[in-house]
Amino acid sequence: MPKDNPIGKVVHWYDRLGVAVVKLNKALKVGSQIKVKRGDEEFTDTVTSMQLDHKSVNAGKKGEEVAVKVSQPAKEGAEVYAAK
CATH number of 8-82: 2.40.30.10
1 or 82, higher pLDDT:
82
Q: What is the pLDDT of residues 33-77, one digit of tens each?
A: 999 999 999 999 999 999 999 999 999 999 999 999 999 999 999
Domain ranges in the chain are 8-82
Q: Which residues of 41-64 are buried (b: 16+ CB within 10 A; e: fewer)?
A: eebebebeebeeeeeebebbeeeb
Residue 2 has a pLDDT of: 45
